[in-house]
């Protein structure tokens, strides 16, 4: 854990996580039951060109990866409180990896989550070819831990 | 067919100011835990007994779970009006979200109601056939407190009129 509330980190990468077909269709059945997230053939005929993950699944998974990246630097990530911007750049297809490249660009002492401070995060969510799937600028609640 | 169903309409048919209540969802403890195990495995979202003594004094839903349910409510709501348009033809992909904020925790048993309002239409044309619809979306709990809001840009196919 950092001593200074103003400490920023340049870039840290999470370990990759993969979404297989069952992961993608299970999420879609529950939260985003549109044909191109549920069915291979419908995916082929769609604007995306293949079965792909819901953008909300990418966001949730990417946020988990942001937490993993922050943990590598000793920060305990609790939850997002705000997403200033999230842009989906390309689809995430079956069996692709996702990696988060995380930068803390600022820290603020105030936070809406109890016992936390806020890290302003910029994250690139990339697939295994290094292509950007989504990019996000968000506010993360970080546990104050022993700094209190 | 004379009626203009929501999903049968082109970009040009969608008016700024159009407002919908997509519906409500009651979050159960089980589904909160199941979602969080995959996407937010912190104890606050996965371990009710431990969460009782943590920062929120009880289990809460992970923020993306609250947001993902908006999508489900929108899809279900629009399907009612789909009238056979089930290939997503004129109902394009989301391209981006802005000013997404979660204001207070959603706990097991809380009932969240989701609303949608078209606030802008861009003149931009994407790949010769898509326009961009910007909407403001809000979620309220059973006390009418706002728990979430965001804006989203969604593609809609041009070409009516």
Residue B5 clears pLDDT 70, i.e. is over it: no
Q: Which residues of A touch B39 (CB under 8 A)?
A: 60-61, 63-64
Tokens of B120: 């802008």
Q: Is B80 exposed, middle or buried (0-12, 13-18, 19+ CB in 10 A)?
A: exposed
pLDDT value at position A31? 96
The conformation of residue B14, written as its DSSP 8-state character, comes to -
Tokens of A27: 């999420």
Domains of chain B by residue range: 6-157
CA distance B49 to B43: 9
Residue A39: φ, ψ to 5°: -140, 130
Range with lowest mean pLDDT among A7-16, A95-104, B48-57: A7-16
Quote the mean pLDDT of chain A: 90
For A13-43, give one letter per residue: b (16+ CB within 10 A) or e.
ebeebebeeebbbebbebbbbbbbbbeeebb
| B71 and chain A in contact, CB less than 8 A | yes
Q: What percent of chain B has pLDDT over 70?
A: 87
Q: Which residues of A touch B92 (CB under 8 A)?
A: 47
Tokens of A1: 């854990």
Q: Which of residues 16-35 of B touch A (CB under 8 A)?
A: 35
**How do residues A39-66 score in pLDDT, each as one tens digit?**
999 888 887 889 999 999 999 999 999 9
pLDDT value at position A136? 98
CA atoms within 13 A on the CB side of A98: 32
Residue B85 clears pLDDT 50, i.e. is over it: no
Q: For residue B11, name the pLDDT band (cuts at 50, 70, 90).
A: confident
Probe site for chain B from A79, A111, A148 (most B CB atoms < 10 A): A79
CA B99 to chain centre: 14
Q: What percent of chain B has pLDDT over 90?
A: 71
Residues forming beta bridges with residue B115, ordered by sequence position: B21, B138
pLDDT value at position B90? 56
Q: For residue B77, name the pLDDT band (cuts at 50, 70, 90).
A: confident
Q: DSSP letters along B85-131, please?
A: --S-TTEEEEEEEEEEEE-S---TT-EEEEEEEEEEE----BTTTEE
CA distance B91 to B83: 13
Phi-psi region of A95 (alpha: psi -120 to 50; beta: other; left: phi over 0): left
Q: Degrees (nearest 5) of the Cα angle B23, B62, A136?
A: 95
Quote the mean pLDDT of chain B: 88
pLDDT value at position A3? 44
CB within 8 Å: B98 and A84: yes
Residues forming beta bridges with residue B134, ordered by sequence position: B120, B153
CB within 8 Å: B62 and A87: no
CB within 8 Å: A113 and B55: yes
CB atoms within 10 A of CB B72: 21
Collect all residues from A whose CB is shorter than 8 A from any CB in B.
27, 30-36, 42, 45-48, 54-57, 59-61, 63-64, 67, 77-88, 112-116
pLDDT value at position A16? 77
Please tell me the distance in Å from B115's CA to the nearest CA on chain A.
16
SS3 A84: strand
Tokens of A127: 């697939």
Query: What value does the mean pLDDT take over residues B4-16?
Result: 74
CA atoms within 13 A on the CB side of A128: 9
Query: What value does the mean pLDDT take over residues B31-55?
Result: 96
In terms of CA atoms, which chain B residue is nearest residue A84? B99
SS3 B49: helix
CB within 8 Å: B75 and A48: no
Helix (H) or strand (E) holding A68: helix A55-72
The conformation of residue B69, written as its DSSP 8-state character, comes to H
For residues A103 and A72, the answer to whether their CB atoms sit within 8 Å is no
Which domains are seen in chain A, by residue range?
12-147 (3.10.129.10)
Q: Which residues of B touch A77 (CB under 8 A)?
A: 42
Is CATH 3.40.50.720 what the domain over B6-157 is classified as, yes or no?
A: no
Please tell me the distance in Å from B64's CA to the nearest CA on chain A.
6
Residue B2 clears pLDDT 60, i.e. is over it: no
Helix (H) or strand (E) holding A113: none
**How do residues B94-136 score in pLDDT, each as one tens digit?**
999 999 999 999 999 999 999 999 999 998 998 888 899 999 9
């Amino acid at each position: 854990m950092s001593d200074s509330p103003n400490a920023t980190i340049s870039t840290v990468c999470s370990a990759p996580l993969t979404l297989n077909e069952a992961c993608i269709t299970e999420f879609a059945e529950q939260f985003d039951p549109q044909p191109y997230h549920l069915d291979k053939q419908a995916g082929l005929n769609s604007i995306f060109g293949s079965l792909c993950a819901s953008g909300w699944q990418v966001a949730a998974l990417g946020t988990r990866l942001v937490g993993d990246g922050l943990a590598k630097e000793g920060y305990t990530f609790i939850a997002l409180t705000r997403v200033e911007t999230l842009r989906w750049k390309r689809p995430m297809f079956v069996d692709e990896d996702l990696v988060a490249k995380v930068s803390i660009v600022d820290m603020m002492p105030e936070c809406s989550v109890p016992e936390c401070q806020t890290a302003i995060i910029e994250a690139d969510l990339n697939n295994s070819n290094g292509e950007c799937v989504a990019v996000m600028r968000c506010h993360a609640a970080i546990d104050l831990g022993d700094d209190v | 067919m004379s009626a203009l169903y929501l999903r049968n309409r082109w970009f040009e048919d969608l008016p700024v100011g159009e407002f919908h209540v997509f519906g409500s969802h009651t979050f159960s403890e089980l589904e909160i835990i199941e979602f969080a195990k995959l996407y937010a495995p912190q104890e606050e979202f996965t371990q009710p007994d431990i969460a009782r003594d943590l920062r929120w004094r009880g289990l809460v839903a992970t923020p993306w779970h609250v947001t993902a349910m908006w999508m489900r409510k929108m899809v279900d709501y629009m399907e009612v009006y789909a009238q056979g348009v089930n290939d997503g033809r004129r109902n394009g992909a989301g391209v981006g979200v802005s000013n997404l904020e979660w204001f207070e925790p959603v706990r097991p048993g809380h009932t969240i109601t989701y609303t949608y309002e078209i606030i802008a239409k861009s003149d931009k044309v994407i790949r010769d056939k898509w326009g961009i619809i910007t909407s403001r979306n809000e979620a309220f709990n059973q006390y009418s407190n706002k728990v979430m809001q965001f804006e989203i840009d969604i593609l809609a196919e041009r070409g009516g009129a």
